[in-house]
Amino acid sequence: MSDQFISIYQSGEEQLLEKAVKDGAETMWDRKAAQKTPCGFGEKGVCCRICAMGPCRVSPVAGKGAQKGICGATADVIVARNYARMVAAGTAAHSDHARDIAHILHMASRDGNYKVRDEKKLMSLAKEWGVNTENRDIYEIAHEVAEIALNEFGKPFGTLKFLERAPELRQKVWEDLQIKPRAIDREIATILHSTHVGCTGDAESLVHMSMRTSLADGWGGSMIGTEFSDIIFGTPVPRETEANLGVLDEKQVNIILHGHEPSLSEMIVMASLDPEMQKLAKEVGAEGINLAGMCCTGNEVTMRHGVKIAGNFYQQEMAILTGAVEAIIVDVQCIFPALAKLSDCYHTKFITTSPKAKITGATHIEFHEDNAMESAKNIVKEAIENFKNRKNEKVFIPEIKSNAVVGYSVEAVIKQLDKVVNPHIDPMGTVKPLADVIKAGVLRGAVGIVGCNNPKSKHDYSHIEIMKKLIANDVIVVTTGCAAQAAAKAGLLTKDARKLAGQGLATVCELVDIPPVLHMGSCVDISRILTIVGEVAKHLGIDNSDLPVAGIAPEWMSEKAVAIATYVISSGIDTFLGITPPVTGSDEVVDILTNRVENMTGAKFFIEEDPHALADKVLGRIEEKRQKLGI
């Protein structure tokens, strides 16, 4: 099924690229070609430009060529420093996203644009954080909870609150390694400090600091982002949607939501449902407004509203190439600045909204959270009015789309699991059924497949190949980010896809009524994966690192992905990278990441660019962990 599918959608993409040539539009492929062969120093991580004595580049081969930068930094130090800065940047991106969401909760009010939608989740978080809830207005509670969260970014003492959600054994590992993050921003700042010229000169220490910083992402920023988004916008429940560029509709105003923060996208969803906006769309001659998401913001709105998925990272240019997009509305992260020039070739309006991510050549309409609905309507209006400018002769929408079921938050997964609980034996509302099938061996393990697209790899190919191989071997797959959208497009998020699963997983899917690949949300929602793994470990009285689980980033590209991979390792979960990170210039760093770190956290990195070999390694490692555990 998916084989055929992936070739269908690749042919759709090829047609669009041909169209680009015809339309004189430049795409990332042109730019990639213009880059020629990438610089080997950068590729191996041995180029440093941290101070003005440099740039320095050292030889990736020990004993040959320049071995040290001007300050004396070795390849090991330079590579580790660059790696640490990637982690810091990734953590900063997720954290700033989370900070905004926490601010939104702080400004939420009963009659405002932002409300508390999931009171239960808020109350349980209030309880977890020791906030008094008795006889208090829900918004008073919300504001206090938000303030506590905001303090997590810069509190002067203690360590992050969410760390306590991890299994006790894991907390002990962090304690012993002294990598419990203190305050989120502090860890980011510390890395920037320590990687300054003349500061840390020890690779292991830099990796150690990177782990602490990354944990401030996974168990800090990202987790706050997810929890608070659920509280404000509702905790996702399973729902149906469609994915791929075929969701664009020739007869409607097509608006693409691209970026990350649901504070914007949620309001755009609401605004586009507004009768006034609908009327306006009719007035300009469209049948209606067709919203479609892209990248993580797409994931956020599809998880909560079933908004269709136009595509993932790689497809942001393709969407514009269809000539059928009135506006591409973006906020922050993973947005090609190239969209400005590209949209000039068409009628498409490229609208930036965040002061954090202005782009030259884009139409900037700042989104104001304190006046969110009005603000969103203004943006939508701009899109609708642009419908008149569409040039029909330039429209080509490839007829490719697929059904998908999305919305598997931890809460939703547990609710599905309740279906198989025998009430005469067990209580409802736990992860026991999942722990049971893993322990019995019906499921061999569980794997999170996350991350981006990268032109170094055939679009979505690694995502899909790895997913197919794992599910065929009775490994359940949970997915987020652009990997999840790849799965959606390939039809792997349908219940029907259990036909591709091994008998164990297929049986579980049938009994629990789920697809073999579960969409758990956006990149910050990887915190959901941490939560569910932690719950299973707690249930079995073991640590994350004992479980037959793994994380995979088959086509990763961003610094966020580096931060994610690092916190996944630090959380005790093996991580497999399908794209080689820029660390190979230092045998020492490679040895730490792919070997020694296992002695510290119980997990390590695997680097494998061939998706089939990667999947085999994952399966092998899963069986290794099972054997160690005696299951």
Partner 1 sequence: MNLFQTIFTGSNQAVSAAEGLLKQAIEQKGRDHKVAFPDTAYALPVIYAATGIKITTLGELEGAIGIVKSLIVEELQLTQALNAGLATAVAAEIIEAIKYAMNETPYEAPCAGHITDPIIRSLGVPLVTGDIPGVAVVLGECPDSATAAKVIKDYQSKGLLTFLVGKVIDQAIEGNVKMGLELRVIPLGYDVTSVIHVVSVAIRASLIFGAVEPGKLDKHMEYTKNRVPAFVNAFGPLSELVVSAGAGAIALGFPVITDQVVPEVPTLLLTQKDYDKVVATSLEARGIKIKITELPIPVAFAAAFEGERIRKDD
- From residue 398, alpha-carbon distances to 16, 189, 252, 318, 452 in Å are 8, 46, 16, 10, 22
Phi, psi of 68 (to 5 degrees): -140, 150
Are residues 481 and 296 in contact, defined by beta-carbon separation less than 8 angstroms?
A: yes
Options 17, 62, 71, 359; binder of ligand SF4; rule CB under 6 A = 71
Q: How far is the CB of 48 from ligand SF4 (least distance, A)?
A: 3
Three-state SS for 44? helix
440 binds, among ligand SF4, partner 1, none (CB under 5 to 8 A by kind): partner 1
Q: Which helix (H) or strand (E) holds 480?
A: strand 475-480
Work out the number of other CB atoms within 10 angstroms of the CB of residue 183. 21
User: Is residue 66 at the binding interface for ligand SF4, with CB under 6 A as the rule?
Assistant: no
- In the DSSP assignment, the letter for residue 332 is S
Are residues 183 and 154 in contact, defined by beta-carbon separation less than 8 angstroms?
A: yes
Is the CB of 252 or the CB of 580 nearer to ligand SF4? 580
User: Is residue 198 at the binding interface for partner 1, with CB under 8 A as the rule?
Assistant: no
CA–CA dist 298, 302 (Å, integer) = 6
User: Is residue 132 at the binding interface for partner 1, with CB under 8 A as the rule?
Assistant: no
CA–CA dist 499, 427 (Å, integer) = 31
Options 496, 598, 609, 623; binder of partner 1; rule CB under 8 A = 623
Q: Alpha carbon 121 to chain centroid distance?
A: 22
Residue range at the interface with ligand SF4 (CB under 6 A); choices 211-219, 542-550, 553-561, 582-590: 553-561
CA–CA dist 43, 553 (Å, integer) = 18
User: Is residue 48 at the binding interface for ligand SF4, with CB under 6 A as the rule?
Assistant: yes
Residue range at the interface with ligand SF4 (CB under 6 A); choices 6-14, 63-71, 151-159, 177-185: 63-71
CA–CA dist 564, 214 (Å, integer) = 7
Residue range at the interface with ligand SF4 (CB under 6 A); choices 19-27, 52-60, 364-372, 573-581: 52-60
Site for partner 1 in 493-552 (CB under 8 A): 502-504, 507, 511
CA–CA dist 164, 251 (Å, integer) = 51
CA–CA dist 85, 442 (Å, integer) = 41
Q: How far is the CB of 336 from partner 1 (least distance, A)?
A: 43
> How many helices (H) and strands (E) would you count in the chain?
26, 16
User: Is residue 192 at the binding interface for ligand SF4, with CB under 6 A as the rule?
Assistant: no
Q: Give the up-direction half-sphere exposure of residue 587: CA atoms within 13 A in the CB hemisphere.
A: 4
Site for partner 1 in 291-310 (CB under 8 A): none
CA–CA dist 201, 73 (Å, integer) = 7
Q: How far is the CB of 442 from partner 1 (least distance, A)?
A: 5
Q: How far is the CB of 157 from ligand SF4 (least distance, A)?
A: 32
**Site track for ligand SF4 across 424-463, x = CB under 6 A:** ---------------------------xx-----------
User: Is residue 444 at the binding interface for partner 1, with CB under 8 A as the rule?
Assistant: yes
Binding-site residues for [4Fe-4S] cluster sit at: 39, 47-48, 51, 56, 71
Site for partner 1 in 422-441 (CB under 8 A): 422-425, 433, 436-437, 439-441
**Site track for ligand SF4 across 111-140, x = CB under 6 A:** ------------------------------
Is the CB of 67 or the CB of 109 nearer to ligand SF4? 67
Options 304, 560, 617, 621; binder of ligand SF4; rule CB under 6 A = 560
User: Is residue 28 at the binding interface for ligand SF4, with CB under 6 A as the rule?
Assistant: no
Q: What is the DSSP string of 531-589?
A: HHHHHHHHHHTS-GGGSSEEEEETT--SHHHHHHHHHHHHTT-EEEESS--TTTT-HHH
Options 1, 28, 192, 197; binder of ligand SF4; rule CB under 6 A = 197
Q: What are the tokens at 197? A: 């010229």
Instruction: Summarize as ranges the residues that interact with partner 1 (CB under 8 A).
Output: 417, 420-425, 433, 436-437, 439-442, 444, 473-474, 502-504, 507, 511, 623, 626, 630-631
Instruction: Summarize as ranges the residues that interact with ligand SF4 (CB under 6 A).
Output: 48-51, 53-56, 69-71, 73, 78, 197, 295-296, 313, 334, 451-452, 481-482, 523, 558, 560-561
